[in-house]
Amino acid sequence: MKNGLRTRREAADLSQGELAEAVGVTRQTINAIERERYDPSLELAFKLAAHFDCRVEDLFDPELDADLTA
Amino acid sequence: MTQVQRSPTPRLSRQRRYRRLLFGSIGAGVLASLALRFLDYPVLGEAVYWLGIVAALVVWRGTDVALFDERDRSLERRASQLTMTVAAVVLVLGASAARLGATLGLFEVSPFLSGALYGYVGLFGLFALCYLWVRART
């Protein structure tokens, strides 16, 4: 899933390890999400959004069909 | 962009250490057990094997640090699905070939091969039981 995690993490001057520590996962999980190789659970998505004080949809773009988002 | 190398955070470094301990205990136990069996100390080898297993269980259950996260579980789930798919293909093709070969008198199915195929059947039986148990609890 497309996401802006790397951009927000770097803007916050956080390493992958520090972000992983903050949200309770491994550094590899953060790396996999940033590389769009792993879609996080709802719980982790909400944790990440809360950490960056934004909405989940500001962080993740599921690229839904237009008729689904209408 | 240059990544700044920082020291690992406390939870992550503990997690890494405990995971190494967990897998290391099992690996060391198995290797030491094989070595002792090779040196003709089978009982001692079995004891060391169990020592490794118990040490791994102690590490796994004894720490407050989560050793595996959701991506680890997702990887395990996908690997398990792949394993079952491969096992299903092997069972379907292997069992059919064994039956046909025996019926047509082309070859005799060895007890080893027969046991392996029944082992696969048992694996799928166990899978069905686990599936029903998980479904009942979900």
Judge whether A24 is closer than 8 Å to chain B, CB to CB: yes
CATH value at residue A33? 1.10.260.40
ipTM at complex level: 0.82
Check CB contact under 8 Å for B72 and A26: yes
Which of B69, B71, B72, B74 best tests the A interface by mutation, with the highest count of A CBs <10 A? B71
**Is A17 contained in some domain?**
yes
* Per-residue pLDDT tens over the stretch B83-129: 999 999 999 999 999 999 989 988 888 899 999 999 999 999 999 99
* Domain count within chain A: 1
**Is residue B2 helix, strand or coil?**
coil
Cβ density class A15-37: b for 16+ within 10 Å, e for less: bbbbbbbbbebbbbbbbbbbeee
| Inter-residue contact B114 to B98 (CB < 8 Å) | yes
Distance of residue B17 Cα from the nearest chain A Cα, in angstroms: 13
Which of A10, A17, A29 is opposite residue B8, by nearest beta carbon?
A17
Check CB contact under 8 Å for A38 and B72: no
* Per-residue pLDDT tens over the stretch B25-53: 999 999 999 999 999 999 999 999 999 99
Q: Which amino acid is at B29?
A: G
**Is A39 contained in some domain?**
yes
CA B78 – CA A2 distance, rounded (Å): 21
**Is A12 contained in some domain?**
yes
